[in-house]
């Protein structure tokens, strides 16, 4: 299986929505108009890269990356990674690792001093990120908006 990772383009939107449906199956699907508007905002955002992993030409995984400028650490930015998902039928074939390697390369190219993400409270997911070189070093907090 040939795996390639690249920046997503508008033509990937349907595949991305399918992957996000696997990531968050309880979410109400976006209308096409809403999805198009969100994609326009994402693609116009400086420092934002939605990566896609293709398996033999099929979009099978994604990771959303954003470089956040920073006034600490000598002005070096932080790369945040969110919405990492690999389609169930493509898991455990190296796509997730390739996505994370590409995210780290994005961070290095942008002069970031760290790549940061939050992970689900799941032992398999924690093991995966550790195997990709990430360390669990802090307690994460969230406050969901109602």
Domain segments of the chain as ranges: 3-131
Residues of the chain with pLDDT under 70: none
Q: What is the pLDDT of residue 146?
A: 83
Q: Per CATH, which fold does 3-131 belong to?
A: Aminopeptidase (3.40.630)
Q: What is the pLDDT of residue 71?
A: 98
Q: What is the pLDDT of residue 141?
A: 85
CB under 8 Å to 7, separation ≥6 — which residues? Answer: 49, 50, 51, 52
How far is it, in rounded angstroms, from Cα 78 to Cα 70?
Answer: 7
Tell me the pLDDT tens digit for each residue of 38-75.
999 999 999 999 999 999 999 999 999 999 999 999 99
């Amino acid at each position: 299986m040939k795996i390639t990772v690249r920046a997503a383009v508008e033509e990937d939107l349907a595949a991305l929505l399918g992957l996000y449906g696997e990531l968050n199956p309880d979410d109400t699907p976006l209308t096409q108009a809403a999805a198009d508007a969100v994609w326009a905002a994402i693609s116009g955002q400086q420092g934002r890269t939605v990566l896609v992993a293709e398996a033999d030409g099929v979009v099978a995984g994604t990771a959303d990356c954003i470089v956040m400028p920073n006034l600490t650490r000598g002005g070096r930015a932080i790369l945040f990674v969110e919405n990492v998902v690999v389609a169930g039928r493509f898991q455990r074939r190296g796509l997730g690792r390739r996505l994370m390697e590409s995210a780290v390369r994005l961070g290095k190219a942008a002069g970031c001093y760290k790549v940061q993400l939050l992970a689900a409270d799941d032992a398999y997911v924690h093991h995966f990120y550790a195997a990709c070189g990430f360390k669990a070093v802090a307690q994460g907090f969230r406050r969901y908006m109602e």
